[in-house]
A = this chain, B = another copy of it.
Amino acid sequence: MMKKNCTEGIMNFKPINNSGAVEGFCFVKSLEIKKTAKGLPYLDMILTDRSGEINAKLWDYKEDLHGDITVNIIVKVRGTESMFNDAPQFRVERIRKALPSDQVKVEDFVPSAEYSGESLFDAICAIVEGFENEDLKTLVLTVLKRYREPLTVCPAAFKLHHAIRGGLLYHTLSVLRLAQGVCAVYPLVDKELLYSGAILHDVAKIWEFEVSEAGIASGYSVEGSLIGHLVKGAMTIEQIGTELGTDRELLLLLEHMVISHHGEPEFGAAVRPMFLEAEILSELDMLDARIYEISAAVSEVPAGAFTARQWALDNRKLYNPGLHYVTPKADLL
Also in contact, A86 and B295, with CB within 8 A (given A190-B324, A287-B182): no
Chain B residues with CB below 8 A from A180, complex form: 181
Chain B residues with CB below 8 A from A222, complex form: 249, 252, 304, 306, 319
| Contact indicator A332/B185 (Cβ below 8 Å) | yes
Chain B residues with CB below 8 A from A63, complex form: none
| Contact indicator A227/B271 (Cβ below 8 Å) | yes
Distance of A260 from chain B, by nearest CB (Å): 8
Cα A85 to Cα B220 with chains together (Å): 32
> 9 tightest CB-CB pairs across the interface, nearest first?
A181-B181, A265-B265, A270-B270, A226-B256, A177-B185, A275-B319, A190-B323, A283-B287, A274-B319
Also in contact, A319 and B174, with CB within 8 A (given A314-B272, A332-B185): no
Partner of A268, one of B39, B265, B283: B265
Can you report 28 A-B residue pairs in the complex whose CB atoms are below 8 A from each other? A36-B86, A185-B330, A185-B331, A187-B329, A188-B295, A188-B325, A188-B328, A190-B321, A190-B323, A190-B324, A193-B323, A226-B253, A226-B274, A227-B259, A231-B255, A235-B238, A238-B238, A238-B239, A268-B271, A272-B314, A274-B318, A275-B294, A275-B318, A276-B291, A277-B321, A283-B283, A283-B287, A287-B287
What size tier do the contact residues of chain A reach?
35 or more
Task: Give A177's nearest chain B residue, CB to CB.
Answer: B185
Partner of A256, one of B185, B193, B227, B265: B227
Partner of A270, one of B34, B231, B294: B231
Whether A128 sits at the interface, judged by CB under 8 Å, is: no
Whether A37 sits at the interface, judged by CB under 8 Å, is: yes
Instruction: List A residues 204-240 near B (Cβ within 8 Å).
Output: 220, 222-223, 225-228, 230-231, 234-235, 238-239
Chain B residues with CB below 8 A from A234, complex form: 227, 231, 235
Chain A window 250-272, contacts with chain B (Cβ cutoff 8 Å), 1 for yes, 0 for no: 00110110010000011011111
Distance of A239 from chain B, by nearest CB (Å): 7
| Contact indicator A317/B226 (Cβ below 8 Å) | no
Residue among A178, A255, A323 with the highest chain B CB neighbour number at 10 A:
A323
| Contact indicator A317/B193 (Cβ below 8 Å) | no
Whether A311 sits at the interface, judged by CB under 8 Å, is: no
| Contact indicator B276/A298 (Cβ below 8 Å) | yes
Whether A99 sits at the interface, judged by CB under 8 Å, is: no
Distance of A7 from chain B, by nearest CB (Å): 8
Task: Give A323's nearest chain B residue, CB to CB.
Answer: B190
Instruction: List A residues 167-197 near B (Cβ within 8 Å).
Output: 174, 177-178, 180-182, 184-190, 193
